[in-house]
Structure formats: structure tokens, C-alpha cells
Amino acid sequence: MTSDILTATAADLGRRIAARELTAVQVAEAFLAQIERVDDDVHAFLHVDAAGARAQAAAVDAKLDAGEQLGPLAGVPIAVKDLFCQAGVPTTAASKILEGWRPPYSATVVQRLLDAGLVVLGKTNLDEFAMGSSTETSAFGPTRNPWDLDRIPGGSGGGSAAALASFEAPLAIGTDTGGSIRQPGAVTGTVGVKPTYGGVSRYGVIAMASSLDQPGPCARTVLDAALLHEVIAGHDPMDSTSIDAPVPPVVEAARSGDIAGLRVGVVKELGGEGYEPGVELRFREAVAALEAAGAEVVEVSCPHFTYALGAYYLIMPSEVSSNLARYDAMRYGLRVGDDGTRSTEEVMNLTRAAGLGAEAKRRIIIGTYALSSGYYDAYYGSAQKVRTLISRDFDAAFEQVDVLVSPSTPTTAFLVGEKLSDPLAMYKSDLCTIPSNMAGNTAGSFPIGVAPEDGMPVGLQVMAPPQADDRVYRVGAALEKAFGGALTDRIATRWVEA
Amino acid sequence: MALSTADVARLAALARIELTEEELVRFAPELDTILEAVASVSEVADSDVPPMSHALPLTNVFREDVVRPGLLHEAALAAAPAVEEGRFRVPRILGEEA
């Protein structure tokens, strides 16, 4: 019974809870027990809110027993990246500087989850302030990849992705600034979608790079991701960059998966040198599967994508240096060295030295440099121009095709420790995902099998124009159909006791 | 363009981060490598290309100026490292000894 709950889709759990075949409390207990059993190995969670989850589940059961009609995911548990404020629940951004902090309010995304009856199991691990591609920069230790515990689960949202792949949660929430939903999705064999910038509210999400950050859904199946997308998306007056327009019909697209006549462009620049043969092999097979399902496939060139990584590693740190200035030891968070003799500035210096990790420091310093007078035009100014050129590449491409595709990542999951001492090698993990953040497009990663070399999952990225999120799900659903269901089914017996 | 440890120390001071000697020695060449790798952006950034700061073509977004419930005083202070008389207590901000 329990094993059947753990491996079920969120859509199925929601249906069975609504039909009163299962109670929300029963489902929450099953996942809490699974977390208890496996999280010492996986370390997907920074905080498990067992009491909160039980109370939320009981409240959903009470409403359903009273005959109230709730949404399709009512009673379904979810794991939330520890970058989202949840009132009264510890929120750290995986940084020592926020250790022990309990936010006084909830992010809009969290509030919408609770309002829709989802049960928040806890907060998942991430790279510190979402800065990384492996979850190794977390101040609280790395998360492991459930496909191979010696490997990274991607980042920054490695905790959310690993929670899904180890069946600790049927749904999760992530944020994507340069690939932090899609890259973990790809390397753990799960589904992750970055909505159109402005599609999901950033209110209450701890900011890394505000012009790029975008919350989004993580799941094991395409339909589950779409159902979650629908819960969290839509206009929020508390976020001035929130789009005031109807949410694209993502659930309908995920149910259909019909891609007959859809024009699919393979991005020429996202492949070749630096891409693992196993990744390229699976990608070619997946493109052939799309063609077999009725898509028209052509090659498309986006010449400025080559410069995207460089522009990203100037724009993002510049925004980081500004956003992280708020951790000043005055109003909340860590304070170090306040002995009555030191000045405010000295206390700030000592607190930020002790509370921020190496990658956060690197990015703050690069950003400070890129924005300093004399260097601004050459660095930040040039990067902003490249952003325009990338956006124009997308515009031109989307005149020829409906969606663009590429591998989600150049390689499968690497070993824990392999790239931690080489920042530049780590940054290249996001080569394929960064352009969509720069332009504000929507993009998702979908599992397309495992690489023959190492047996690790490979993802295919689907990119679509702003507000065409439904196209991403449509292609994702077509892939899922072609590959016969969720890839994580292959490791279910490893993680779930019969 | 090589970034010296003195440069890194100056930037860190601007960013209010006290770096150890060890960190300075480690970060200087690392940051130099990163800056070298990203410098390629200037190759294509011609003067006729307009800069893009944001994905959405937004200017100002306004809302009605109405009174709404906000954060309560106690909630705002609850997570403060130090509080005195209902306010955030901070270390001295002037140059002289208190």
C-alpha cells in the first residue's frame, strides 16, 4: 500500500484523495516515512516540517469529508526549494548567513500551494543562494543523485530533483536563473520547467539575479508538472514583473502531446565539442522520435548563443552583488563580532566573511568589479548588448519554427567533488539553459533515456517563445509517450520497499 | 588585465567582505580566469546594439494607494540579531568610540 502511494503520480494521488480512496494524512505519512528512511543517504531536505505537513493534510481531509470541492492536487505532498519564504518555517537559502531564520511571511508560490491544498513536506537543499550547478556549494553539505550516490544531482535545485527521484515527494518547486530547474531535472531523469519570465510570482523568493530568476514546477511526469504549473502561475500584484495575462493552457497541452505538424528547430550551436557522445546519441534518437510523432524537424542557427555564458557570468554576478548587499547583519540573520567596540561596518565585514561561502563571495566580487566605474561599459554594458543579440536570435528562430530543442546539459551527472575546484568547468554545465533566461523565454527539460557510458539520465530541452509555455509541455508529453512513461520508474525498486 | 590580490582586497572591501590572506591568494587567479573567459562579450557588443536590462518591456507598474495590512512591528523585529526599545539595535555607526 505504502509503496503504491510513493510511486504514484501526483495526478493519481490527487484523484484518489478526492475520491476518498486515500486520505491526505495517509499520503503525507507515507512520504514522511520515506524521507525518514532514505534522506540520510540522499540529503535532499534541509528541513522536514512533519508537524506542519500533518496539520495541512488533516485540514484537507476535514474539508473533503465535509463535501468541499478542492483542486486536482489537494492533499498531494510537495517539497519546496529552501529559497522560498514560508511563514514560521526555517528558510536558509542554504547559507550560514540565514541559518535559523524564520520568515514573517510566505512567498506567493507557497501561499498558492497551501491555498490549493498541497501539503508542504519541507524545504529542499540547494547551492548557496542558488549559486551553483551541483548543490555542492550548500553550506549544509551536498545532495546526492538517487541514480548514483557518488554523483551530483545538479544544481542549484538538486534537493528538489533528488527528492523526486528518490520518491520522497511526488512534486517539488524550484527556481531557474540559468538552468537551476532544468539541469537538475536532466541529470536526475525528472521533469523541470522554467516558465516564461513573469509567469510565476517572485514575491517571497530569496533573490539571486532578479532579471533572470523564475520559479517553476518539478515533477516525475509531464502532466504532474503542468498541474503544478497551473497552481503557482498567474498574475500577482506583489511582484511588479508578474505578467497580467491568462496562464497558457499547459494542462491541456500535457494531456494531449499531439505534435503533428509542429515545427521543431534543432539549435546548431548547442552540440558538438564538449558534449558527451551518450548525450548526443540520446538527443538524436529523441529528435527522431519527435519526427516520427509528426513534427517537422529543421536545423536552426542561433549564432550569439556562443556568447551567452560570458554575458550571463557578468549580468548575474552584477545583480548578485546588489541583491546580496541586504545581508548586512542588522535586521535579521547572522551577526558576528558585535562586541560593543566594533563599528557597524566592521561587523558587516566580519559577518559577511563568516556567513557567505566561497562561490557567493566570488560572484559578489566579480559583480562589484563588472559594475565599477571604468569597467562598466566593457563588462556589464557589453553583456547587456549580448543579451539583446541572444533575444534577437530567438526572435529570428521563432519565425521559422514553433519550438527549439537541444540537449538540456552537455554531460550527464558528474562525480561529487569533480568540478568544485574549477568554477569555469562548473559554469559550463549551464551552457544550454542560459539563453532562455537571458531572453525571458520558457523552456523545460524532459527525460529521454540514459547514456550508454554511465547509465545516467539524459534530458532534452524544449524552448518556446514567451507565453507559449503550453508548447513546452506539448513536446514534453510527446517525448514521454515515445519513451513509455516516467524514466524514474527504472529506479523505483531501488528506493521504494515493496 | 591580471587581477592582483590587492585588487581583490579592494573589491571585497567595497562589498563589505573581509577576506583572509588565504582567500585573496586563492580568489585572485580564479577570478582572473573567469574574467578572461567572459571578456569575449565585447567582441560582438557593437555600439549600434541597444542594451537589454530586462526580458519584459515594462516601465513603471502602479497600484492603488490604499491602506492594507502590513508586517506587524513584533514580526519585523522577531528575527533581529539585537533589539532595544522596539527598534533594531546596531553597532556604532560613527567614527569615534561611544
**Are B52 and A391 contacting, i.e. CB atoms less than 8 angstroms apart?**
yes
Q: Is A62 on the interface with B (CB under 8 A)?
A: no
Chain A residues within 8 A of B36 when measuring between CB atoms: none
Question: Residue B58: what pLDDT?
Answer: 76
Judged by CB atoms closer than 8 Å, whether chains meet at B49 and A389 is answered as: yes
Give the one of B13, B41, B76 whose C-beta lies nearest to A104's C-beta: B76
User: For the CA atoms of A96, A101, A107, A113, what is the dihedral angle to 10 degrees?
Assistant: 100
Dist CA B32 CA B2 (whole Å) = 6
Residue B93 has pLDDT above 90, yes or no: no
User: Would you tell me how many other CB atoms lie within 10 Å of the CB of residue A53?
Assistant: 24
- Which pLDDT score, from 0 to 100, does residue A248 have? 98
Residues A385, B58: C-beta atoms closer than 8 Å: no
Q: Measured between CA atoms, how close is A306 to chain B, in angstroms?
A: 10
Q: Is A197 on the interface with B (CB under 8 A)?
A: yes
CA-based nearest distance A386→chain B, Å: 6
Query: Which tens digits make up the pLDDT trace of A207-251?
Result: 999 999 999 999 999 999 999 999 999 999 999 999 999 999 999
Q: Can you give the pLDDT of all 498 residues of chain A as single tens digits?
A: 699 999 999 999 999 999 999 999 999 999 999 999 999 999 999 999 999 999 999 999 999 999 999 999 999 999 999 999 999 999 999 999 999 999 999 999 999 999 999 999 999 999 999 999 999 999 999 999 999 999 999 999 999 999 999 999 999 999 999 999 999 999 999 999 999 999 999 999 999 999 999 999 999 999 999 999 999 999 999 999 999 999 999 999 999 999 999 999 999 999 999 999 999 999 999 999 999 999 999 999 999 999 999 999 999 999 999 999 999 999 999 999 999 999 999 999 999 999 999 999 999 999 999 999 888 999 999 999 999 999 999 999 999 999 999 999 999 999 999 998 888 889 999 999 999 999 999 999 999 999 999 999 999 999 999 999 999 999 999 999 999 899 999 999 999 988
Q: How far is CA B70 from CA A111, A332, A333, B67, in A?
A: 16, 18, 21, 9
Alpha-carbon gap, residue A442 to A258, rounded angstroms: 19
Q: Whole-angstrom Cα distance, residue A182 to residue A461?
A: 8
DSSP structure class, residue A233: B
Instruction: Count interface pairs A-B at CB distance under 8 A.
Output: 182
Query: What pLDDT score does B98 carry?
Result: 45
Candidate list A134, A160, A166, A180, residue with the active-site label: A180
* pLDDT of B97 higher than 60: no
Whether residue A166 lies in the annotated active site: no
Q: Is A419 a catalytic residue?
A: no
DSSP state at residue A19: T
Residue range B42-63, pLDDT digits in tens: 889 888 999 998 888 777 888 8
**Marked catalytic residue, from A106, A138, A156, A408:** A156
Residue A43 C-alpha from the chain's centroid: 17
Full-model pTM: 0.97
Residue-wise pLDDT for B14-50, tens only, equals 999 999 999 999 999 999 999 999 999 988 988 899 9
The CA distance from A353 to the nearest CA of chain B, in Å, is: 5
The amino acid sitting at A266 is V
Cα–Cα dist A310/A482, whole Å: 36
The label of the residue with cell 565585514 reads: A349
A:447-466 residues touching chain B, CB 8 A cutoff: 466
Residues in chain A closer than 8 A to B31 (CB atoms): 362, 365-366, 369
Give A339→chain B minimum CA distance, Å: 9
pLDDT at B82 > cutoff 50: yes
A91 touches A130 (CB < 8 A)? no
Residue A200 contacts B, CB cutoff 8 Å: no
**Which of A177, A335, A369 to substitute to test the interface with B, most B CBs within 10 Å?**
A369
**A347: Cβ–Cβ under 8 A, 6 or more apart, which residues?**
A329, A335, A336, A337, A338, B91
Among A403, A413, A405, CA closest to A454 = A413
Contact A393, B54 (CB under 8 A): no
Taking CB atoms and an 8 Å limit, are A198 and B19 in contact across chains? no
Q: Which residues contact B37 (CB under 8 A, 6 or more apart)?
A: A309, A310, A313, A424
Q: Give the per-residue pLDDT at B54.
A: 86
Closest CA to A409 of A188, A149, A93, A139: A188
Cell of A463: 524552448
- State the Cα–Cα distance between residues A262 and A449, nearest whole angstrom: 23
Q: Is A366 in Cβ contact with B31 (below 8 Å)?
A: yes
Query: Does A241 contact B at CB distance below 8 Å?
Result: yes
pLDDT digits (tens, 9 = 90+) for A294-335: 999 999 999 999 999 999 999 999 999 999 999 999 999 999
Q: Is the pLDDT of residue B95 over 70?
A: no
Q: For this structure, is A138 an active site residue? A: no
What the block records as the C-alpha cell of B45 is 557588443
